[in-house]
Structure 1
Amino acid sequence: MGMVFLLIVGAAAGFLATRIMRVEADVLTTVALGVLGALIGGVLIRILLTITGAMAGLVGAVLGAMALIWVYQTYIGRR
């Protein structure tokens, strides 16, 4: 169940992050960035999650996905 939840939250986070940052990406890239961003954001926002509740998990996932998109665009996407 945890993996399915991670995919759903990751896909939502990737979608939101790509829209916020105005990035055109295919579905697979969006989901991959969202899932990886959810992992990164989950680790970074762990303390906030315990303090403010489950909504911080989505915020952390979106922030993590945005950070990963920035890294992707800066170092990988522009070759």
Structure 2
Amino acid sequence: MLVQAYVLIQTEVGQSSQVADEIRSLSGVTMAEDVTGPYDVIARVEAPSMDALGQLVIARIQDVKGITRTLTCTVVHL
């Protein structure tokens, strides 16, 4: 079963559209949208394991230029 999460992303001023476009192109990202509020972009991601999810967020998403902070919210099925 895939591990899924929402990644809430804050960007530098004026960078949200470019950040969303770049994140959208990454493997494992199923959706990335510009939003209003305390976060600038919300992405839905999936990976085969928690370790792979961590690698996706830390090594690939956080590496995108213009991102200042992320918050990962793992989806749970109760």
Q: Same fold (TM over 0.5)?
A: no
Greater share of helix? 1
User: What is the TM-score when the length of structure 1 is the normalising length?
Assistant: 0.32
- More relative contact order in 1 or in 2 (CA 8 Å, sep 6+)? 2
User: What is the TM-score when the length of structure 2 is the normalising length?
Assistant: 0.32
